[in-house]
Structure 1
Amino acid sequence: MANTQRNPNLRQELLDAGMKLLSEQGYHGTGLKEILERVQVPKGSFYHYFSSKEAFTAEIITDYTETLLALMDQHVEGTESSARETIRHLYRMMVSEFERRGCIRGCLLGNLAAEIGASSERCQHALQQGYRAWRQRFIPLVEKGQRNGEFRDDIPAGALADIYWNHWEGGILRMKLEGQADILRQDLDWLLDCLMAPAPPNI
């Protein structure tokens, strides 16, 4: 407890360490002991903030979501770029980060949804909230692109957002399988420039 009082940033340090380990090793591959060793604190300090590993993971999901949304806001608000190029910039920036880390991390929301999304109600709820928050931010971008003729408008913006998410998560799996970030970049370019683009006029 004394260490907790000396370090007001300990809670965030635990979350940051947990996020890194969960991203690389998954939920079942990450033990509490490893997290504590990474931050160099006793078990009691952990339980001062989190009631269980499940509660800790749910907090990490929320923290990850907030970071993702802040990144989106930073690059979307006030931009003069087209909707298509804004989305392209966002995913290329994230793919470059995946590449820098050796194509092993991917999206924490997708990783945990696949691993524990159906077995942990608390984490499932946090994952659902994370996806819905992302979707709420992404749909206006798609709507902007539809208004400007960049994206097809025969499919609702919400459905296109869902298709993008599904393509993103599936592409990440293939990137990790092949160990090549270019695979994900190319897949998303095809999605953005062809599948989401307006159909050519009938001649």
Structure 2
Amino acid sequence: MSEKSPTTRERLINSARYLFWERGYAGTSMADLLAHAQVNSGSFYHFFESKEALLRAVLEEYLVMLRPIVIDPAFASTNDPVARIFAVLSGYRERILMTECQYGCPLGRLALEIDPENRPAHKLIAENFQGWIAAIRECLEQLKPQLPKNTDLDALAAYVLITMEGGVMLARSYRSVEPFDKAVRQLKQHFDLLLSSHMTRSLKPQPSRRKSASHSKP
């Protein structure tokens, strides 16, 4: 059985997702969108009232795609929570190499490019980032018994996201995967330190609670 052809609306969203990533939101004209999706303007306005409305649809699509495309394949590769975090990052490394270091996180690009006054779009971008952070936090919850007691899991999950976004941006700017690899190696060292710190404290001898002989009653 042949796969179902995408609807006109789906073609517009798919084209916008690709063009916004390749050229940026501002750099993609309505003519570009129509030509790439192979639709006319009447069809466009039947589904979307504006280019901005199409942008929101793209961001909503990213929310839907996050788990099945980015998170679930990485989590399926291992049961170890630390390995799962770095499997997610490894997926971004593969995208960098596949695009000859031209890959840039589409959400990161849109977050920087979209006018700050466009609150509906930024709200959706933030929801996408929060979904990513929440997925990493799932791993950290499993690690919680092995982490220092004062570890802020939300902050640590956000730190992983920031490392990924910064590494991807530098890899694209330098046209080399090395900056991304350096950032990930440093993140691994951070996790090693957190986990070894807990291990050191757990192995440290505890002081005896028994009263000393000098303080015992006669």
Which TM-score applies when normalising by structure 1?
0.85
CA positional deviation for 1:80:
4.7
CA positional deviation for 1:110:
0.9
Provide the residue aligned with 1:173 in structure 2. Answer: 169
Contact 1:92 1:185 in 2 (8 A): no
Contact 1:102 1:179 in 2 (8 A): yes
Counterparts of 2:115 and 2:168, CA distance in 1: 17
Provide the residue aligned with 2:178 in structure 1. Answer: 182
Gap runs ≥5 in structure 1: 1-6
Counterparts of 2:136 and 2:115, CA distance in 1: 22
Provide the residue aligned with 2:55 in structure 1. Answer: 57
Counterparts of 1:43 and 1:80, CA distance in 2: 47
Counterparts of 1:11 and 1:38, CA distance in 2: 13
The AA in structure 2 aligned to 1:49 is: F
Contact 1:160 1:196 in 2 (8 A): no
Provide the residue aligned with 1:164 in structure 2. Answer: 160
Counterparts of 1:35 and 1:67, CA distance in 2: 21
Provide the residue aligned with 2:75 in structure 1. Answer: 76
Counterparts of 2:181 and 2:115, CA distance in 1: 26
CA positional deviation for 1:18:
0.8
Instruction: Kindly report which structure 2 residues correspond to 1:46-195, keeping only aligned pairs within 5 A, or say none.
Output: 46-71=44-69, 72-76=71-75, 80-116=78-114, 118-147=116-145, 149=146, 152-191=148-187, 193-195=188-190
Counterparts of 1:153 and 1:167, CA distance in 2: 23
Provide the residue aligned with 1:41 in structure 2. Answer: 39
The AA in structure 1 aligned to 2:182 is: Q
The AA in structure 2 aligned to 1:92 is: S
CA positional deviation for 1:135:
2.0
CA positional deviation for 1:97:
1.4
The AA in structure 1 aligned to 2:30 is: L
Moved more, 46-55 or 152-161: 152-161
Counterparts of 2:138 and 2:176, CA distance in 1: 31
Query: Which secondary structure state, in structure 1, belongs to the residue aligned with residue 79 of structure 2?
Result: coil
Q: Structure 1 residues 81 and 112 mapped into 2: Cα distance closer, same or farther (>3 Å)? A: same
Provide the residue aligned with 1:196 in structure 2. Answer: 191
Which structure would you say has the larger RCO, counting Cα contacts within 8 Å and 6 or more residues apart? Answer: 1
Gap runs ≥5 in structure 2: 205-218
Q: CA RMSD, aligned part only? A: 2.1
Contact 1:62 1:126 in 2 (8 A): yes
- Does structure 1 residue 27 correspond to structure 2 residue 25? yes
Q: Calculate percent identity across the aligned residue pairs.
A: 23
**Runs of 4+ with >3 A deviation:** 151-154, 199-203
Counterparts of 2:111 and 2:164, CA distance in 1: 14
Counterparts of 1:111 and 1:32, CA distance in 2: 19
Which TM-score applies when normalising by structure 2?
0.80
